Structures are given as structure tokens and as C-alpha cells.
Amino acid sequence: MTARPSSDVGGAAPADSEWTRWTTGMHLLVTDPTVLSRARAIVDAELDAIEDAASRFRPDSEICALAAAAGARTPVSPVLADLIGAALTAARLTDGDVDPTVGRALVDLGYDRDIADIDPAAPRLASIAIRADWSMIDFDGSSVRLPDGVLLDLGATAKAVAADRCAHRVHAETGSGVLVNLGGDLTTAGPTPDGGWQVLVQDSDDDPPCSITLGGGTGLATSSTRRRQWRHNGDLVHHIIDPRTGRSAEPVWRSVSVAASDCLTANALSTAAIIRGHRAPDWIAGLGIPARFVDQGGAVRTVGGWPQG
């Protein structure tokens, strides 16, 4: 978990539920304890729908059916349409740094199954490279056509979209204030506890911790080069792909955290910052977006008025 609400939230403590899914920690908090079970059911239903639509690791998912469509136009469900639209929004926002057509590159690096199931000793043969980028996705809002051989991976944005969808739906259906944290992709909606949501931002136990206060209607995302790592042909690699090289981005930063008005924006920028490396702080600062960078030595740099606790 890359960003976790602290236990001291002031005033009446929100009710919460913690569990593991998608090989990451998940945390739901609501300001009205009477709606917790209903809120958890809403979140579970959203996560089920997103997994059905977008999991690369389930052969019955919609996204796997797209890979088998051989370039034909294919109708998509409203959920997958939302996820594809969000991925293209992230690509435009980051000038292509966050590119959903990197699925084949991830497979070639050995990330063709759940991270917990990767066998680092298994030999990997590279597939024939398909030159494609996000601008070649032909999407009209209800159907999509991909270049033949292109494999979509929505992992860079789908969890952030899930956090946004879950938080807004819980608030809309229960009226409660809510914080949804899906493995470091965090969204708040509705009223906050007294003093706001107190959040501890820390990618791993040996990282410098940072406590911040968030209001309602906020997104926070942390992208990390250390959380999803594995060995590929003897080299340590991670899941954030530079689409220009088809390889793991150079790990200049251990982690980058970004706060924005929604989690999709925060996640797109934090992921792109990992890919941009040394150029990222000036880029994010120029956008006027709050961000926190932790380099490989543990040194911290903040830009854009990063919030304080």
C-alpha cells in the first residue's frame, strides 16, 4: 500500500474495511459507520466489473477478446469503454508517456500473469515487435479497433479509475463521506472527518514517511519502481514501461506521489513522472500540480505546493 490513512483522524473515527485484492492492499473508510457494509458491497461490485472488463490475466475478460479480434472493430461494454477512454485521456495528458499499447512489452518482460505468480527462472522469448502507440487506437466511445497484434494494458490507469468510480458511487448512493485507497490510488468524495482525511504517504517501510491532510473531492496516487519488481533474464525490471523503448523506465525515482482533483489525473502524472526521470520535477512544477519525489537514496523533493499535514 503506497498511501494509507492514519488511524488518528480526529473527532468520530470513520468506519473502515481493509482487504487484499489484485495483489495489493485495499482500504475503504466512510464517515457514516452505518453504511460500511453497503459501501463495501458497492466497491466489490465495481472491482468485479473492472476485472471482468480489463484483466490481462483472465482469458474470459473483454480485453483478452480484443487481443483476439485481429484488427476488427469490436463493441465494448460501458465499463471497458470508460477504462479505454480514461487511458486515452492519460495518454493525451502525458504526451504519450502513459500509453495503453504497451501490453506486448510487458508480456515480453515476463509480466504475463499476476505478479505473485511470475517465475523469474522461466525463459522468455521476445515476440515480434508491433510498432504502435496510443494514437492508433480507433475508439468511438462504444467500440474499438486495434492494430492487429497490439495488446492493450490498462494497468497504468484502471486502478485509478476504479478508485474514482468507487468513491463517487459510494457517496452518491449513501450520502456518506468516503475515502477509497486501492493500493496507493486514492480518491475522496463527500464530507470529511473533523480535520480532513489524514493520510500517510510512504511507499515502503524504509521510505521517509509524509503525513498530509486531504479534503473531499481529491485524488492522490503514488507510482513506484519498487513495488512490482521481478527478474527477467537476470535483470531486475519493474512494471512501468517507457513506450519509446518498450523496457522498464529508468528507476531515477523510487516513487512519485501526485495530488489532483481526481485519481486518474494524479496517477497519469505520477506514472509519467517515473518515465520522465530527471526531467519530471520541472515538468510537474510547470503544471502547478503538487507532487512529491523520492529518489533511490531516499532524498525527497516536493513541488507545486505539496500539502502538509
Comparing 100-104, 186-190, 213-217, 283-287, the range with the smallest average pLDDT is 100-104
- Say whether 173 sits in a helix, a strand or coil: helix
Helices (H) and strands (E) in the chain, counts: 7, 18
- Using a cut of 0.85, tell me whether the model's pTM lies above it: yes
Comparing 36-40, 130-134, 226-230, the range with the smallest average pLDDT is 226-230
Of 119 and 192, the structure prediction assigns the larger pLDDT to 192
In this predicted model, what pLDDT tens digit does every residue of 260-294 receive, in sequence order?
Answer: 999 999 999 999 999 999 999 999 999 999 999 99
pLDDT reported for residue 112: 53
C-alpha cell, 272: 509519467
In this predicted model, what pLDDT tens digit does every residue of 85-132 receive, in sequence order?
Answer: 999 999 999 999 999 988 776 666 655 544 444 454 555 544 445 567
- Does residue 256 contact residue 300 with C-beta atoms inside 8 Å? no
Residue burial 283-308, b: 16+ Cβ < 10 Å; e: rest? bbbeeebbbbbbeeeeeeebbbebbe
Give the residues across from 213 on adjacent strands.
Answer: 198
How far is Cα 97 from Cα 93, in angstroms, rounded to an integer?
A: 9
Of 205 and 43, the structure prediction assigns the larger pLDDT to 43
Question: In order of start, what are the domains of the chain with their CATH numbers?
Answer: 2-8+16-303 (3.10.520.10)
